[in-house]
Structure 1
Amino acid sequence: MAIKYKDYYEILGLKRDASAKEIKNAYRKLARKYHPDVNPDNKEAEEKFKEINEANEVLGDPGKKTKYDQLGPNWQAGTEFRPPPGWEGVDVRMGDFGDFASMGGFSDFFSTLFGQAQGGSFSQRTARRSRKARGADIDAELTILLEDAYNGGKHSVTLQKSEICPDCGGTTIAGKRSCSACNGMGMTVKPRRLDIKIPAGVKDGSRIRLAGQGETGVGGGPAGDLYLNIKLKPHPHFTVLDHDVQVELPLMPWEAIMGTEVEVSTLRGYVKMKIPPGTQSGQRLRLKGLGLSKKGGEKGDQYVKIKIVVPKTVSEQEGDLYGKLAQLYDKKKSGLIFGKTRR
């Protein structure tokens, strides 16, 4: 029976005197281009992928290549080929290449020359891998400064992500053997850097979803998502209370008694604040709208917690003045001075 000749060199885009390295490189390049994972639901690409693997199976194997090259003048593409006597029915066990048989088998031309490919357990693995499946989601933790949570901004993160193996193009095979670069998995894990926009108002424990930035899908399936779990780095001055923030402000006794005007640190810089007379230690004063952003564009508040600082030592003159104040206070409060009874 006449069988249409297949020009394997032309399929790989090579000349007939191509070296083994050129054959290997051409196969990898085309396998990556036409791999089913890269071209889901593309029958034309799938057929091309089969042709490429068939060509590599012959030209990448010295024994098969020698037999193929012996065809002589019949190599011209498009001619009808009748195999020489003794070539029919030669059985070749394909081993790791059984997966291509499971995709529809090699051509009649190949089967006539080298026998019918017989698949093995690798075929079953590839068949499973060729089914569409969504990639896994990735969970990662991102620690940011409180100032970044207040203002928003960009952050760069480096993640480990699976990609189609560049050596075997996801076929899991390099030459006749299982690909050593990916250990026969068809995928490699490489670091990937992402620039991420952090929205203003994120809190400790907030979760940011980045659609399609998770693991690569299988068999042309969609990629998973990336979830960033936000963690706020402890701030040396501010405490976060939901969408509000709080800072402690030390005051001297006379400032709390007489009242004063001070500059208070906020997440957007220093602002002036009036301290009313008679302010108590532990009292909280509010700066409206200087907290973290809420949904809808509103902002939380900043609270200023007062801490009255008592001098550890005083001069003789200061001691005299405090003594006079104590005498005045005794007359007004019947002996109570700062919560203690004078004896």
Structure 2
Amino acid sequence: MADHYATLGVSRNASQDEIQRAYRALARRHHPDLDPEPGADERFRVISEAYRVLSDPERRRRYDASRRGPVQARPGRVPVGDQVWVSAGAGFGTGFGFGPGDVLGGGGPIRGVDHEAELELTVEEVYRGGRRSITLPGARALRVEIPPGVTDGQRIALPGHGGAGVGRGAAGDLYLVVRIAPHDRYRVEGRDVVVELPLTPWEAALGATVGIDAPGGPTRVEVPPGTSSGRRLRLPGQGLPDHRGPAGDLCVEVRIEVPAALDETERRLFAELAAASTFNPRA
């Protein structure tokens, strides 16, 4: 069994804040878009899985208990943690680890119990939807259709893939509960997607057209003159889609950053802005 504490470099008594800080530092270092070394995808998957387990108190409790000895599965529940996982680009693990509550004795046909497992998706996967391959016990392979715009906590039903029925009883269903994985660039708020936009003081003061990466692909945002740090600029309909109504928005959150070093042109421009009576750096 993988040691998730060792993966994140924290102690077994680490607080949730310590776990989050450790994950963010490792995610920035090993994200496949930023880490050119071979194996970045696998390292990022392992780090993300460790955080997924340890960041949730209930999953963490079950994980800690499983390291102390065998864990009995509750009827109708698929154990999570190392027994079943899904992460971006990796697919499910080798099986679901069904427990002793799968088959109920009795006289007549009895329907199998339903099972539940978590399906972790990236923001990009949630945005576009698609198909994922999973493997069930007995080497049964399935292709799961993920509709665009699924939300955190939404359940995807796989009829007939839960616990086996007794006698002529039908099999139960398997429900995949969507969890949106933490992202180093995006934050999901309902169907809105929030992304930070770093700007120089002169871009914020004078206005600019800036390119940004969005879940649906590169786009551009118009920054009005006099924009202050923390202001949100909305791009309607560029958030998560919704088949029942309008899509969410892409919310661009401005963060003004002063460069550590200025060239001569930038220094002169900054000085002119500061001296201008119409320029208010606190606006």
> The residue matched to 1:296 in structure 2 has which SS?
coil
Task: Give the drift of 1:288.
Answer: 0.6
CA–CA separation in structure 2 for the residues paired with 1:317 and 1:293: 43
User: Structure 2: which 5+ runs fail to align?
Assistant: 1-104
Give yes or no for contact 2:195–2:253 (8 Å, CA) kept in 1. yes
Residue identity in the other structure for 1:278? G
Q: Which of the pair has more CA radius of gyration?
A: 1
Task: Render the CA deviation track for 1:127-170: whole Å, top value 9, x for unaligned.
Answer: x556210011111111122111111111112223xxxxxxxxxx
1:241 is aligned with what amino acid?
A: E
Whether 1:143 and 2:120 are equivalent positions in the alignment is: yes
Q: Quick one: which amino acid aligns to residue 229 of structure 2?
A: S
Q: Does 1:207 pair with 2:155?
A: yes
Which of residues 233, 236, 241 in structure 2 aligns to 1:288? Answer: 236
Distance 1:229 1:285 in 2: 32
CA deviation after TM superposition for structure 1 residue 317, in Å: 6.3
Give how far 1:305 is off: 0.5
**Equivalent residue for 1:304?**
252
- Aligned 1:1-343 pairs, distance under 5 A: 131-160=108-137, 190-315=138-263, 318-319=266-267, 322-329=270-277, 338=281
- Percent identity over the alignment? 44
Following TM superposition, the consecutive aligned residue runs of length 4 or more in structure 1 with deviations greater than 6 angstroms are none
The 8 Å contact of residues 129 and 219 in structure 1, kept in 2 or not, is answered as no
Residue pair 1:139, 1:227 contacting (<8 A) in 2 also: yes
Superposed CA deviations along residues 259-294 of structure 1, whole A, max 9, x for unmatched, are 111112111111222111111111000001011122
TM-score (norm 2): 0.57
The CA deviation string for residues 223-244 of structure 1, in whole angstroms up to 9 with x for no partner, is 1011111111222211100111
Contact 1:253 1:308 in 2 (8 A): yes
For residues 276 and 167 of structure 2, what CA distance do their matches in structure 1 show? 87
> CA separation of 1:280/1:198 partners in 2, compared to 1, >3 Å: closer, same or farther?
same
- 1:102 corresponds in structure 2 to none
* Distance in 2 between residues matched to 1:157 and 1:287, nearest whole Å: 35
Aligned partners of 2:151, 2:225: CA distance in 1, in Å?
Answer: 35
TM-score, normalised with respect to structure 1: 0.48
Unmatched runs of 5 consecutive residues or more in structure 1: 1-127, 161-189
What amino acid does structure 1 have at the position aligned with 2:249?
D
Aligned residues between the structures = 179
How far off is 1:327 after superposition?
3.6
RMSD: 2.3
